[in-house]
Amino acid sequence: MNIKRINRISEEVRKIVSELLTIGLKDPRINPMTSVTNVEITRDLGYANIYVSVLGDKEEKEDTLKGLESAKGFIRKEIASKIDLRYVPELVFHLDQSIEQGIYMSKLIEKVAKEDAEKKERSNG
């Protein structure tokens, strides 16, 4: 299938799921600070890998994934009603750790830069 079409469908799915996270899903397990970071649809449109980022501790992240898993049917139905596809892909939710990893890396860089500045001060002072 055309890669541009798959990318357009992926973006539409991302928008729909993001919208559902903010106003459509009422499951108390789903953390309100959840966002969809990426959607990758397989070339055969069989599966949609949906990457979500959850602000919170490990338990909140696991609860959010469980809530999303239980809402899969509803989310698929909403996607089907908003995107004209012959087959709606099977949804697979993944926890995206990239934001946390980015924050961790930034803190490490700041720490190293601070230590480097302190060493320069000591050697010059």
User: Tens of pLDDT along 50-89?
Assistant: 999 988 888 999 999 999 999 999 999 999 999 988 889 9
pLDDT at 1: 67
Q: How far is CA 72 from CA 9, 52, 82, 87, 108, in A?
A: 18, 14, 15, 15, 37
Domain 3-96 sits in CATH 3.30.300.20: yes
pLDDT at 72: 94
More confident residue, 104 or 14: 14
Residue whose structure tokens are 């959850």? 54
The identity of residue 98, as a single letter, is: S
Average pLDDT, the chain: 90
Buried b (16+ CB within 10 A) or exposed e, 73-85: eebeebbeeeeee
